[in-house]
Amino acid sequence: MIVGRVQDLTEAHIKALVANLSAESPTLDFKRDVPGRDAPARHDYCSDLCAFANAAGGDLIYGIDEDGEGRASVVVAQTVNPDDEQLRLLDMALNGLEPRVSGLEARAIPVAGGHVFIVRVPKTWNGPHRVRTNQHFYVREGVRKRQLDMPEIRNSFVRAAGQTEELERFRAHRVAKILTTQPPMEKLVPGPIAVFHIVPLAPTVDRAAVDPRAFYVERRLPTIGGGGGYSRINLDGAMRTESEGKGITKYTQIFRDGRVEAAMVFTSHLDTKNPYIPSTAFENWLIGFYGPMMNELAHFKIDPPFALLLSLLGVHGVRFANRGEQESGDGPSLFDRNEVLLPDVVVEEATGAEVALRPVFDLLWQCVGYPGSLNYDKNGKRETR
């Protein structure tokens, strides 16, 4: 795999591969020409992608010929339309593999006489993948691809299930700290709590991807609902807190590996006989938090896919409603349990907050008896009441 982000690669990187006689490897494959448009060519392209995705990921480079020993020998500029070809490469991957390979990138790099195309395949979190045309699973082994055998396929599914279990263990660990008031949550004010986790799923994320010193001066963590507060560096990474009286009402913690935990205590809507969580306002607070938080993760080059996990703590008997519904007694029902741990929602690509969070909101409304969020129309457009 070429070092560097795909969007930063230039003709100089391509020329360097030839000048250095760079060899094919488990993460690098050279192809003289872009894939043809017939069925065998499409199948071969998808099986190459599948093999990389089921191994360590890698770069497929179209426009470099190799010598007899698998070394880059000459640049063969492709004269196809670069925009159309990029789209075709991505479409073939989308339609040719299952499950979809999240985070796959294709880029046309201008070179003398045309373009060289690079398709970067990440090591994925949701494998194993198979090619739709023959339902076979492939893996990259050395500089060749081969089919996975049945024991290997079985082990791949076991590993994928293990990642789901790891997500739940992480959430359970963090929620337990909040419920038992362990540091730094021992100063939270009383009341129902919303906890929102963003967990990077790409296996290439470094365990020390986030330098917390960035939040000491120049950068600012958002919090759910916004507001003031102050930031500090801690053992886990960096944290921003907001306080009211003698306790913390909200905080955001970014861990050194890019995981995010944001929490807020509902206080201003509980001084009634029938306490409630303001449904539309809460959705808006999460939407307002999501975009700025994505910007912070992007600053550290932490990109989708992400798992989103929303948890509500201490909400038994609390109504999920707007003010008018609360006063009239209409609207959604009470939460029927003290801890509501919604299933994880996976965001596979960068998108707007209203789109990314809608599945989370739908799950939340289903907890109180509705089929989905009342703040979206039938076409998925947000229309707050």
Residue 228 pLDDT > 70: yes
Instruction: Give yes or no: residues 191 and 259 share one domain.
Output: yes
Name the phi and psi angles at 176, rounded to 5: -60, -40
Q: Does position 367 have pLDDT exceeding 80, yes or no?
A: yes
Q: Which of 36-45, 156-165, 263-272, 304-313 has the lowest mean pLDDT?
A: 156-165
Q: Clarify whether residues 100 and 175 are in a common domain.
A: no
Let me know whether 142 and 201 are in one domain.
no
**Whether residues 178 and 84 fall in one domain:** no
DSSP strand pairing (193-200 vs 260-265): antiparallel
What gap in Å lies between CA 64 and CA 61, rounded to an integer?
7
Has residue 374 been placed in a domain?
Answer: no
* CA dihedral (252, 206, 165, 181) positive or negative: negative
pLDDT surpassing 60 at residue 339? yes
Residue 150, helix vs strand vs coil: helix
pLDDT tens-digit readout, 132-152: 999 999 999 888 899 888 777
Residue 348 main-chain phi, psi, to 5 deg: -90, -15
Q: What is the pLDDT of residue 103?
A: 78
**Coil, helix or strand for 278?**
strand
Per-residue pLDDT at 288 = 95
Mean pLDDT, rounded, for 209-220: 90
DSSP 42: H
Do 325 and 180 belong to one domain? yes
Please determine, for residue 46, whether its predicted confidence score (pLDDT) is greater than 70: yes
State mean pLDDT over 189-196: 91
For 142, counting Cβ atoms within 10 Å of its Cβ (0-12 exposed, 13-18 middle, 19+ buried), the class is exposed
* Listed residues 105, 120, 148: the one ending a domain: 148
Can you tell me the distance from the alpha carbon of 368 to that of 21, in angstroms, rounded to the nearest whole number? 63
Domain limit, last residue, from 121, 148, 175: 148
Same domain for 168 and 273, yes or no, is yes
The percentage of the chain sitting over the pLDDT mark of 90, rounded to a whole number, equals 54
Distance CA 62, CA 88 (A): 13
The CATH number that applies at residue 90 is: 3.30.950.30
How do residues 61-109 score in pLDDT, each as one tens digit? 999 999 988 899 999 999 999 999 999 999 999 999 998 887 788 999 9
Residue 249 belongs to what H/E stretch?
strand 247-255
Q: What's the predicted TM-score (pTM) here? A: 0.66
What pLDDT, on a 0 to 100 scale, did the predictor assign at position 18?
Answer: 93
Question: Contact at 8 Å (CB) between 287 and 262?
Answer: no
Q: Is the same domain home to 195 and 279?
A: yes
Whole-number pLDDT of residue 203: 62
CA–CA distance, 50 with 330 (Å, rounded to integer)? 52
pLDDT for 257: 92
Instruction: Using the predicted structure, report yes or no on whether residue 374 has a pLDDT greater than 50.
Output: yes
> What is the pLDDT at residue 49?
95
Q: What is the pLDDT of residue 157?
A: 65
- The 8 Å CB, 24+ separation contacts for 161-164 are 163/125, 163/201, 164/344
Is the model's pLDDT at 155 over the cut of 90?
A: no
DSSP state of 148: P
Q: What share of the chain is helix, strand, coil (3-state, %, to 5)?
A: 30, 30, 40
Residues 168 and 143 occupy one common structural domain: no
pLDDT bin (cut points 50, 70, 90) of residue 13 is: very high
As for how many domains the chain has, the answer is 2
In the predicted model, is pLDDT for residue 238 greater than 70?
yes
Q: What is the pLDDT of residue 85?
A: 95
| Mean pLDDT for all residues in the chain | 87
Secondary structure of residue 226 in the 3-state scheme = coil
Mean pLDDT, residues 274-282 taken together: 87
Range of the domain at 84: 6-148
Q: List the Cα angle 287/349/342 in 5-degree steps.
A: 55
- Residue 327 confidence (pLDDT) above 50: no
Residues 66 and 202 in one domain: no
